[in-house]
A and B are shown apart, each in its own frame.
Chain A
Amino acid sequence: MLLLIAGALAVLSVRNLFVATMLLGIVSFTMALIFISLDAVDVAFTEAAVGAGISTVLYIGTLALVGSQEREKSKFAPGPLAVCLAVGAVLYYATYEMPRYGQPDNPVHTHVAPRYIEDSPTEIGVPNMVTSVLASYRGYDTFGETTVIFTAGIGVLLILRQRRRRKKEVTTEDPPLRDGKGGSISGLGSAHDLVPHVISKLLVPFIFVFALYVQFHGDYGPGGGFQAGVIFAAGIILYALVFGLDFARAVVNEKAILFLISAGVLLYGGVGVVSMLLGGNFLDYNVLSSDPVAGQHLGILLVELGVGITVTAAMLAIFYAFVGRPELLIETSTNAEQPGKERN
């Protein structure tokens, strides 16, 4: 716990953004460990994969594009500090009105949660309550969140892919920044580093198998579509980082990703529509099979699959967009000189 605060303070004070990113990853990972001790295994899983894995990659991808040094003048800001302290003081005061930590009769535990805990084993038949609440009781919610991820993926593509059109005119031989150190992360895939190549070749299949296990075992143990999607994407990102973006594109190309992003959401929505056509409510899985529990099982499986596909594809789309950006700029800057700076 105190490690968290130390980490956060270090993030605040460190000038180099690269170091700050690494520290943020450490904070995330510590947080994941704390989540385990707080019984939230699913959340810890997600936090470790997302916070310490994907988000670090994304931050580094950004830093490669924007430079990693913060400007020297790091002034002490009394105004914001005062606001922060005021907010903190109010919240601190409010904690005394909070129920005690860890008591079973706290208001959070007495509203809908007992219903989930007592009835979900018989109604849904899925041991992992987090999964059953996620995909069944709060299916609408999760559908909305999947759509948010979908939208964010599309948004990143729109923002970072604007000069896509001209790409076809330029021949793609020898991108100048492909020197394998700094400069461009699309040059990261180096042909000389034997150890990362061998290790990642060994690791990637296991990561995929693990992701599939997490995906389909999510009903019984910690896991589910969100985690599996992130792990799967992490596997491909590892491959891309070690072998170069072009190889990864050969495995999963961008058209397929665009297709998969929408396929996941459509699969989720489709399950809802099918259950409506069969006479139930939207996302009411009981009607999917003659036995309601089996129907729930099937529905959850399909919905989680939809979530997993969308998350994988969206993460990959975001990653490709960030990493593919330098190439895009090189190709376009042959036509228009100096893409920055023309505004001033």
Chain B
Amino acid sequence: MSFGFFNYWIFIILLMIGLYTVMSRSNLVKKMIGLSLFQISVFLFYISMGKIDGGTAPIVVETGADGMAPVYSNPLPHVLILTAIVVGIATTALGLSLVVRIRETFGTIDEDEILEMEDKD
């Protein structure tokens, strides 16, 4: 019974870890890593929703494994997540490049140290 939600629970735990990393770590690269974890967990959530028991990958085949008409898993979440992954890496790269610039300007990538510097000015 409860196994029916197992994937969702994994998603929640991963999401919590990601969120906690983003909020608690002051290192900016670590924050980006946390965001990536967060992202991955959402991917898992979508793909889990698209799964149908006994289904197969959504590529047309003549007959199913047992000679019956094949059951396809839902292709729509796959499409959404596929593009989201690539867009995710592009935006992550943008974030990382900002981190690089911050490091060059402030000499550190630690959020707390940057805030201290701001206060001194």
**Are B89 and A55 neighbours in the complex by a CB distance under 8 Å?**
yes
Complex-state Cα separation, A37 to B37, whole angstroms: 20
Interface on A for B, CB 8 Å cutoff?
A: 1, 4-5, 8-9, 11-12, 17, 20-21, 24, 27-28, 31, 34-35, 38-43, 46-47, 50-51, 54-55, 58-59, 61-63, 65-67, 70-71, 74-75, 77, 79-81, 83-85, 87-88, 91-92, 95-96, 98, 100-104, 106, 108-109, 112-113, 116-117, 121, 127-130, 133-134, 138, 141-142, 145, 148-149, 152-153, 155-156, 159-160, 220-222, 224, 226, 229-230, 311, 314-315, 318, 321-322, 325, 329, 339-341, 343-344
Interface of A is mostly: helix
Q: Is the CB of A221 within 8 A of B109?
A: no
- For B90, list chain A residues within 8 Å (CB): 148-149, 152-153, 314, 318
Contact sample, A vs B, 17 pairs, CB 8 Å cutoff: A17-B29, A40-B73, A43-B81, A50-B89, A51-B89, A54-B89, A66-B103, A83-B23, A85-B16, A87-B19, A102-B53, A109-B74, A117-B72, A153-B90, A156-B94, A226-B83, A339-B104
Contact partners of A41 in chain B: CB under 8 A: 57, 59
Q: Does B86 contact A (CB under 8 A)?
A: yes
Other A-B pairs, 13, CB within 8 Å; known A51-B40, A59-B32, A62-B96: A11-B17, A11-B37, A51-B36, A98-B5, A102-B51, A106-B49, A116-B75, A148-B91, A152-B87, A159-B98, A340-B104, A340-B106, A343-B117
Of the listed residues B33, B78, B86, B87, the one surrounded by the most CB atoms of chain A closer than 10 A to its CB is: B86
Contact A340:B103 (CB < 8 A) given known A20-B30, A77-B23, A321-B97 = yes
Q: How far is the CB of A311 from chain B (nearest CB, A)?
A: 6
Chain A residue at smallest Cβ distance from B14: A8
Q: B29, B36, B82, B96: which contacts A43 (Cβ < 8 A)?
A: B82
B65 at the interface (CB under 8 A from A): no
B27-57: which have CB < 8 Å to A? 27, 29-30, 32-34, 36-37, 40, 43-44, 47-53, 55-57
- Does A127 lie within 8 Å of B99, measured CB to CB? no
Inter-chain contacts of A11 with B (CB < 8 A): 17, 21, 33, 37
Q: Whole-angstrom distance from the CB of B117 to the nearest CB of chain A?
A: 5
A55 and B88 alpha carbons, distance in the complex (Å): 10
Q: Give the distance in Å from the alpha carbon of A142 to the alpha carbon of B50 in the complex.
A: 19
- Once the chains bind, are B75 and A9 in contact (CB under 8 Å)? no
* Chain A positions within 8 Å of B14 at CB level: 4-5, 8
Q: A39-B73, A222-B57 are in contact. Are A87 and B37 (CB under 8 A)?
A: no
